[in-house]
Amino acid sequence: MDAGKAIFETVDKLRQRRTAPLVLELDLTEGLTEGPPTDPLSAVLSMRKPRLSDVLAGLKRGRDDSRVKALVVKIGGNPLGLAVVQELRQAVTRFRASGKLTVAFSETYGEFGNGTVPYYLASAFERVYLQPSGDVGLTGVALEQRFVKGALGKLGVGYEMGQRHEYKTAANTFTQDHMTEPHRESMERIVGSVVDQVVAGIAEGRRLDPAKVRELIDRGPFIGSEAVEAGLVDGLAYRDEVYDEVKKAAGSEAHLQYVSRYARAAMVRKLPNPTADGVALVQGHGQIRMGRSGRSPLGGGGAMGSDTVSAALRAARRDDHVKAVVFRVDSPGGSYVASDTVWREVVLTRKVKPVIVSMGDLAASGGYFVSMAADVIVAQPGTLTGSIGVFGGKPVLSELLERIGVNSELVAGGANAGMFSTTRGFSPEQWERVNAWLDRIYDDFVGKVAQSRDLTRERAHELARGRVWTGADARERGLVDELGGLEDALAVARKRAGLADDAPVRVYPRIHPLERLRGAESSEDKAAALARVRIDAWGPLARLSAELGLPAAGPLALPGWYAIR
């Protein structure tokens, strides 16, 4: 009898749990991951991170689910990029518009540090709480670059670099000792655009006048009591107090469930017909390189391999049940040749079915190259994009080596066989070849921008010259079509393909576990798209790139300090 009673009580609890009110929860302490893991190492590293697509799908479904009463989000210290924050704000705003309670809680929005972007995310919620010991680091936006030309000169290290054109400033940290006028102009416009976006978002979310928000930014950071007085937060409370309040508002029987788990459970309960027409989602994250996608075992982000992404686009293109493709791009760029390889597959796919690009935090330089041929480009206002340009060259270590007593001699068979050696500078003839290479890449890039974006070559060059734009500025100039996130891109794809609003989305390439084990039959096989752990980087400079600060993946790359968090 006791065993039967226990079973009955367990079944009853499960039944109540299936029908009780839900409070969706999102913990951003460890940040977010963009797409599904591409290799075993990525799977381990992203194990505790919610997936952005799951969060967006869960919030979208929760808007129309009568069981879902509220959303509570813990905003942690792990920085999120501005565009991802805008994607989350958009999803939260739509969830809030459905009449459901939204609550943001953080132990601190910047502990004795800048917390502008985390607080910007919190401002989208109906109620904002802060732990009594916390702060609101609303101090604005700053981009800072250090110049090491003087220090390297003292060491005997010089740089011979060429760039196309004046706004392509990635190498300036090595070749200049201050910001050039184009460099400063570009940086000031990026900061100004981002501040405008942050001010508008906070003003709307907190029902404050934009001028008041700008005044508060100049007064920040704020200790907790000051933040309450200024109307930036609704109250000071610990986590247990906030969660108790949310559960009380949702109903006495309410229970918590992570948004991503809620989304996956819904997918399991409503498994789509495997042959139903739908949208393919192809992920392209990290620096662009030739070969397969992967992650370095030594740390750092992943890489977008041209073989992997190209195979995924081919698989989606040849699948008759795929009616449109969404290509999610979050990349600072990298290899020109690899970018061109992916560009070609986008062009071929577009001839068969619509291709929509959804830009993440970064889709610049090579990241813009792989995106520009799409039918529609969707970016967040804070996405950093453009950077249509190129640079290249090498460090020259001859003086440094001489100072430390290292002598280097070269035996070469060919006038230019040693031109990439870092122990000597370029000869005039070699420098001519470097400039011919840079001109060829820039001309090809600008020509394809003009063709893809229906611009004159003169207008494309005017927008290019290596300049980085925010998504908002890029849209005004015709480099981007629409402002929005992944859900918006999927909606555009469904509409263009004539699909229903709830048509399924499938990540490509779709590879069965057995196909992963047996390996690829050929380069046309879906299994050829599998990622791998990577170690190598940029051609002849691979060994020196990490030590000397060069972008690890190649000449079409945005420097790492272009990060707004």
- CA–CA distance, 247 with 256 (Å, rounded to integer): 8
**Residue 112 and residue 139 in contact, taking contact as beta carbons nearer than 8 Å:** no
Instruction: Determine how many CB atoms are found less than 10 A away from the CB of residue 15.
Output: 10
Instruction: Determine how many CB atoms are found less than 10 A away from the CB of residue 453.
Output: 18
Q: Closest Cα partner for 175 from 386, 433, 393, 442?
A: 393
Considering the candidates 53, 100, 106, 168, report the single residue annotated as catalytic.
168
Angle between helices 486-497 and 52-63 (to 10 degrees): 70
Q: Is 331 one of the annotated active-site residues of the chain?
A: no
End-to-end CA distance of the chain: 59
3-state DSSP assignment of residue 425 = coil
Q: How far is CA 248 from the centre of its chain?
A: 36
Residue 328, beta-bridge partner list: 283, 358
Considering the candidates 42, 106, 123, 365, report the single residue annotated as catalytic.
365
Q: HSE (CB half, 13 Å, CA atoms) of 454?
A: 6
Structure tokens at 493: 């794809």
Structure tokens at 285: 């994250």
Dihedral sign for Cα 107, 126, 59, 37, please: negative
Residue 129: partners with Cβ closer than 8 Å, 6 or more residues away = 103, 104, 105, 106, 233, 234, 235, 236, 237, 242
Please list, residue by residue across 202-223, b when 16 or more beta carbons sit within 10 angstroms of its beta carbon and e when fewer do: bbebbebeeeebbebbeebbbe
- CA–CA distance, 348 with 355 (Å, rounded to integer): 10
Q: Closest Cα partner for 563 from 56, 81, 228, 32?
A: 81
3-state DSSP assignment of residue 136 = strand
Residue 511: partners with Cβ closer than 8 Å, 6 or more residues away = 526, 527, 529, 530
Structure tokens at 215: 């005044």
Please list, residue by residue across 55-76, b when 16 or more beta carbons sit within 10 angstroms of its beta carbon and e when fewer do: bbbbbbbbbeeeebbbbbbbbb
3-state DSSP assignment of residue 471 = helix
Q: Closest Cα partner for 164 from 454, 421, 389?
A: 389
Q: HSE (CB half, 13 Å, CA atoms) of 279?
A: 31
**Residue 292 and residue 531 in contact, taking contact as beta carbons nearer than 8 Å:** yes
Q: Is 168 one of the annotated active-site residues of the chain?
A: yes
Structure tokens at 457: 């070559």
- CA–CA distance, 475 with 521 (Å, rounded to integer): 43
- Catalytic sites, residue numbers: 168, 365
